[in-house]
Amino acid sequence: MDLKYLKGRAAIVTGGASGMGRAMALAFAEHGADVAIGSLLSKSSSQKAEGELVNRPGEEELERTRKEIEAFGVKAVAVELDVCDLESVRNFYKTAVEAFGKVDILANAAGITAEHPTSGHSDALWNKVMDVNMNGVFRMTREVLPGMIERGWGRIISIASTAASVGAPYSPAYCASKAAVCGFTRAVAQEGAEALVTANTISPGWVETTFGTEWLSDVAEKQMNKKGEELIAEEKANNPQKRMIQPVEIGALAAYLCRDEAVGVTGQDITVSAGSVW
């Protein structure tokens, strides 16, 4: 098997400095692709809606991930990115094209959530979750899709969630946004089909990332009056495999979807949950 099957390909990853985005970026690089990562950083002045839950890595984490990518012997670019800002999105795409000459692979991992029931849910919080999780995927896809279609090769992979098909009383915005990502992806898969451009979503259950564990901790403390580590332990115990998904598993699946042999896999939502429903 050719381990460098992505040699000559170029990938961009949103939310690429940490968590699942980082895992996908490293997987692409391991298999030979040049990779550009973009993340909203902790120093960002981007307005934070009251109640949103998001992991904003620091500049050091962004730079560390860039070096990890380069260690595979490929080119790497790392920039600050706000997927809610059209100028930032276009700059990220332009920077990648200037560095690599093209973009063959898009992985959308930037995301946020909010714990609030529909009753009393503010417009600002609802709109922020939808803007990052759904509109951010749309903005990035809109940039890369024409070039992929023109060249007759492309892979678009977006992180959805088991929440796209399973409801939760305190996560209406998150559930709605991830369901929207799945629907949008099916449309993109049809649009790119003749040009052999594929589009798929990966729907993980709980993933052991900084974002995932902080989210569980927030749920535990605010809704259950218990410590975060208690709920994390319970989630692991209740999972059929007695564990949480690891980011590297998401990276490996994303890399597989970029193989030439995976061209027939498109318009699909692939669940990675170790057997759990949520």
Range from 4-13, 48-57, 158-167, 229-238 carrying the lowest mean pLDDT? 48-57
pLDDT surpassing 80 at residue 159: yes
Q: Does domain 10-205+246-272 have CATH number 3.40.50.20?
A: no
Query: Alpha-carbon distance 277 to 204, whole Å?
Result: 10
Is the per-residue pLDDT at 48 higher than 80? Answer: no
Distances (CA, A) of 251 to 14, 27, 54, 92, 116: 13, 5, 20, 21, 30
Q: What is the pLDDT of residue 34?
A: 99
pLDDT at 167 over 80: yes
Between CA 215 and CA 42 the distance in angstroms is: 17
Q: How many CB atoms lie within 10 A of CB 52?
A: 17
Looking at mean pLDDT, say which of 52-61, 147-156, 212-221 comes out highest: 147-156
Give the per-residue pLDDT at 2.
Answer: 80
What are the sequence ranges of the domains in the chain? 10-205+246-272, 208-244
**The predicted structure's pLDDT at residue 197:** 99
% of the chain beyond a pLDDT of 70: 100
> Which of 18-32, 169-183, 221-235 shows the lowest mean pLDDT across its residues?
221-235
Tell me the catalytic residues: 174
pLDDT at 72: 98
The DSSP element (H or E) to which 157 belongs, if any, is strand 154-159
